Copies of this chain bind each other. A is one copy, B any other.
Amino acid sequence: MSAYERQLQELKERLREIYDLEHTRALLYWDQATYMPPGGAAARGRQIALLSRLAHERLTDPAIGKLLDALRPYEESLPYDDDNASLIRVTRRIYERAVKVPSDFLAAFSEHQATTYEVWAKARPENNFALVRPYLEKTLDYSRRLADFFAPYEHIADPLIDFHDYGMKVSTLRPLFAQLKQQLIPLVNAITSQDPPDDSCLHRHYPEAQQLAFGLEVIQRFGFDLQRGRQDKTRHPFMIKFSLGDVRITTRVKENDLSEAMFSTFHEAGHGMYEQGIRPEYEGTPLARGASSGIHESQSRLWENMVGRSRPFWEHFYPRLQALFPEQLGTVDLDTFYRAINKVERSLIRTDADEVTYNLHVIIRFELELNLLEGELSIRELPEAWRAAYQEYLGITPPDDRDGVLQDVHWYHGPIGGAFQGYTLGNILAAQFFAKAVEAHPDIPDAIRHGDFSVLHAWLKENIYQHGRKYTPAELIERVTGNGLSLEPYIRYLYQKYGELYTL
């Protein structure tokens, strides 16, 4: 065994231990969200904090830095695409970012986040922004200091964005999102000036068991592997991974809203198939996860919207759904159902928003974050700025902060900055990737019409899933589309789909 081989092996062993600690922590979290009795909460917090600390200590161990230095000539001798070269490259990126933030700062910010979350959980139902405001002011200060560890930067939000969407910059995203906004506002205006479709068929009584069974039936057809995953119920749906062989999703069921569990199941299964599709050789390494928030969201949104809210999909599955719910849907025709699940409306809550208005919710948050970080906006002014933005972009004003600035957990349980752009990047990329898949296999829509997702799933696995985090988002987008990030496919998709639905 050469010195390089020995060093690489040692690096891999160290990384596997970090990986196993991180994924054990994930199980602690999953259990807390699914089955843990209330009495377990105090110890669980301790256990999660301990596993976080042990993983972080190991990641920032100078021995990792030394191994990375020693392996640099080896890495440079290999092709860029080589798995070992990629492992060293990606590990270096993660290591260098991790060691820039002092442990003391991290611990203090972490503790502040936990406190802020508790205050928010109380403030939100009470509609009491004033209660959480001083904490949020501190969060903004912490967020700026966090970014400053990565100085110099082009924009103060860039290092925060890097945590989720590595390499994406405000200088790209701000004009891109502004352009999208300019396209969306008139589209929303045109749609909402028409009579809204009748979606009452979705609000009949749908028993939980059949809803869950239908969701599982569909996602298995998509390609979600229940031998290497499962689904449980939680308050908020999520995807979580314990290893490449154990990727779980969660959903929540409302018996008076058929959309809730169904589309969250499709969405989380999209995230899950991405992780299940990563090359098994990457198990135990930092390559064994999705490339970024935006790329991940592109996979969930692709299956949820481009597939799961498409007409071809329902041409196949609607008879099946009617057979499961004959009393509720027996007399509802496909067209009515299809219009119901694609109803567009001006609404206050991001997570309930339809495909068209959704990005406006995200862009409002993204722009406010930038203004806060730039010092152009204060936390005190934030609720009013929120209301003004909703009025300007969506034509409605939240009646209170509960359904306004207090609605999302993100700012109250993490830094301000970096967490929102991925949602809209995901929508844009879903359209880019889906268009590319259909370009490569023009029979995909027809296959979907027959309930066959194998070609689409195989294309995604080949082009996206298998690579895990080997490539940066920009590299992956370039590889898959031959181009950079582009709005055009998404705008075309929206105008075509909603143009038909609303005869614009």
Name A's B-contacting residues (CB within 8 A).
16-17, 20-21, 23-24, 27-28, 31, 35-44, 46-47, 50-51, 54, 225-230, 232, 242-246, 283-284
Contacts and interface: CB of A to CB of B under 8 A. Distances in A.
B39 A227 contact: yes
B24 A28 contact: yes
Contact of A50 (B17, B36, B47, B242): B17
A207 to B, nearest CB: 16
B31 A47 contact: no
B227 A38 contact: yes
Contacts of A284: 43, 46
B27 A43 contact: no
Copies in the complex: 2
B37 A230 contact: yes
Contacts of A28: 24, 27
A232 to B, nearest CB: 7
Contacts of A24: 24, 28, 47, 50-51
**Majority DSSP secondary structure for residues of A touching B:** helix
Contact of A35 (B37, B39, B232): B232
A245 B31 CA distance: 14
Nearest to A283: B43
Contacts of A225: 39
A227 B20 contact: no
A244 B28 CA distance: 16
A24 B31 CA distance: 11
Given A20-B46, A24-B28, 4 more contacts: A37-B227, A39-B227, A40-B242, A43-B284
A441 to B, nearest CB: 28
Contacts of A245: 37, 39-43
A245 B45 CA distance: 12
A283 B17 CA distance: 27
Contacts of A51: 24
B243 A37 contact: no
A366 B28 CA distance: 38
B44 A246 contact: yes
A43 B230 contact: no
